[in-house]
Chain A
Amino acid sequence: MTLQLTKKHSFDMVFDSQKVFRLILEVMSNPTRIANIMEYADRLSGSNPLFLAIAMTLLDNEASVDTCGDHVLSGEIVSLALARIETVDTADFIFISDESGIKDVIENAKCGTLADPQKSATVVMQYQNDNRPGSAITLAGPGIDGQAVLLAPQVAIDAIKLRDAQNYEYPQGIDLLFISGNGDLFAIPRMVKVVE
C-alpha cells in the first residue's frame, strides 16, 4: 500500500507544500476567509487527498495525529508524513470527516495549558458538499475587522459553537480548520468567537 502511494502521487513536497502552507496561513490569519487547496490535493492519491495535502504540509515525525478511526488515512499519513498516531486526547492534529464524531473530538481534544497553550490540538474537519442549507453566524476576534458574517454548513457552525461552549480559559483552546469536499478551506482559531 505504501509503495503504491509513493509511486502515484505527484505532490511536490517542497513547492506544493509551501503553497498549501501559505493558504493555510492566510485563512488562519483572516478567519472567515476561504482559500481552495484542491489544485494541490489533486496531486495526491489515497483515500483522502485533501487531508493528505494538509498532513504533507504540516506533519512530520515530531507531530502526532488522530484520524478518528480512519485506519486507511492513518496508514497513509504515517507513510507519507511520518507522523505518529495517537489518541484524540493527546494528538496535535485531529482529522475528522465523520460528522457524528465531532462532539467527542471537541470535548476530548487537548487544549494546552496556561503556561504552554501551544501544546493544544488543531482539529481539521472535512464536510461534504451537499445541498443542505447553510447558516450564517457572526464572528469577532483577531484577524477580523470588527465583525464578520460566515455562511457555512450547519455542521461547521455546530462545531464552532460546541468549541465555544467548552469555555476554555484563554490562552487554552483548540483551533479549527474546516475543509469542504471541493477543497474550500477556512479556519476559526481559538480567539475568534461567535457573537450572539
Chain B
Amino acid sequence: MNSNYNYAFLDEGSKREIRRSILKAVAIPGYQVPFGSRELPIGRGWGTGGIQLTLSLIGPSDTLKVIDQGSDESVNAVNIKKFVCLCTDVKTTIDTRDATLIQTRHRIPEIPLDNGQILVFQVPIPEPLRIVEAREEATKKMHAEKDYAPMWLQLYESLVKYKKVTIPSEYPCMVEGRYVMNPSPIPKFDNPKLHKAECLYLFGAGREKKIYAIPPHTEVLPLAFDDVPFERESFLGKKCRQCGSENTYLDEIFDAQTGEKFYQCSDTSYCLEARSHVSK
C-alpha cells in the first residue's frame, strides 16, 4: 500500500460528504443526489463516480471485484483495481460470489448478487431526461413535478417511426413509481436484474456530480406501454462458443478474415465458472 496517501486515497472529509450523499440516495431511491465530485488521478469519464463511491465504502475486510463490460481483464477494470489496491491493499477476486464490493461499467453480473453485496456502477450520463431536455435546471424541475410526459413521448415517437422502442442500452426505468432513472449504459438484458434485487445498487457519476441508489427489494420497472411491453435483447438460437451458455448476455465477435461471427459470454467470470463445470 502506498502510505503517502490516506487510506482509500480520498481525505476523510471527502468520504464523509460522499457517505452522507449515499445515505440520502438510499433513502430516496432513484433520485440523483448532487455531491462534490473530487479530483482523482484519472480523467473524468473514466469511472471517477464509481471510484469515489468505492473508495468511500471500502475497508480492510472487503473483497473487491471490478468489471468493465462484464470482463475482469479489460484495461479500465484492471487499472481501477490496481489503483484501489495501491491505496487500500484489499483482497481482489474475479469470482462474483466472493466479492463484497463490485464496481462495474455497463453490466450486471450473470450470477445473482446476495444481500451482503454492493454493486457500484460507473455512470457517464445520470440524467435520463437529457435526451429530451438539455437544461439541468429544467430536468430538475421535471423530476420535482414528476413531469415525464416528454420521456413517454420520446418512446411513443420511436414506436411510430420504427415500430419498436429503439433505445439499445441505458433503458430508462421507473423507481418505486416516482423517479425515472437511468440505469447507466447496461444492456436492456440487465434491466430486470434491478427489480426487487437482493443487493444494494449504487450509481456514481463523477463528471456530472451525482449519486443515486436502488436499495434491495425496490420496484424498478422499465418504461413501457400497456400494449407494447418492454423487450430485452434476444439471443435465441445463439450460444457462447466457449461455455455453451444460452441464457447469458452474449458479445458478438466478427472475424474479418473468414467473415465468421462468434458469440461468447460478456461476463467472463461466469463463463470461466461454466466452463469449469463443463470440464468436470
User: Which residues of A does B touch, CB under 8 Å?
Assistant: 13-15, 17-19, 21-22, 24-25, 28-30, 57-63, 92, 113-115, 117-118, 120, 122, 142-146, 170-171, 173, 175, 189-191
Closest-CB distance, B120 to chain A (whole angstroms) = 12
A170 vs B28: C-alpha distance when bound (angstroms): 9
Are B28 and A143 in contact (CB-based, < 8 A)?
no
A29 vs B28: C-alpha distance when bound (angstroms): 11
Residues of A within 8 A of B179 (CB): 171
Closest-CB distance, A59 to chain B (whole angstroms) = 7
15 A-B pairs (CB sep. < 8 Å): A18-B58, A22-B59, A25-B19, A28-B23, A28-B215, A57-B19, A114-B144, A115-B144, A118-B31, A118-B33, A142-B216, A143-B216, A171-B178, A173-B27, A175-B27
A31 vs B269: C-alpha distance when bound (angstroms): 32
Given A25-B26, A28-B23, A114-B144, CB of A143 within 8 Å of CB of B17: no
Give the size range of B's interface with the partner: 35 or more
- For chain B, what secondary structure do more than half of its interface residues adopt (helix, strand, loop), or is it mixed? mixed
Closest-CB distance, B25 to chain A (whole angstroms) = 8
Partner of A62, one of B17, B28, B59: B17
A24 vs B23: C-alpha distance when bound (angstroms): 8
8 tightest A-B contacts by CB? A189-B27, A115-B144, A114-B144, A142-B218, A18-B59, A118-B24, A143-B215, A29-B215
Q: Does B22 contact A (CB under 8 A)?
A: yes
Closest-CB distance, B114 to chain A (whole angstroms) = 12
Are A113 and B144 in contact (CB-based, < 8 A)?
yes
- For chain A, what secondary structure do more than half of its interface residues adopt (helix, strand, loop), or is it mixed? loop
A190 vs B21: C-alpha distance when bound (angstroms): 15
Q: Does B141 contact A (CB under 8 A)?
A: yes
Closest-CB distance, B253 to chain A (whole angstroms) = 38
Q: Does B6 contact A (CB under 8 A)?
A: yes
Closest-CB distance, B265 to chain A (whole angstroms) = 29
A3 vs B31: C-alpha distance when bound (angstroms): 41
Are B16 and A30 in contact (CB-based, < 8 A)?
no
A179 vs B237: C-alpha distance when bound (angstroms): 55
Partner of B141, one of A28, A115, A117: A115
Q: Which residue from chain A places its CB closest to the CB of B6 in the assembled complex?
A: A14
A93 vs B4: C-alpha distance when bound (angstroms): 33
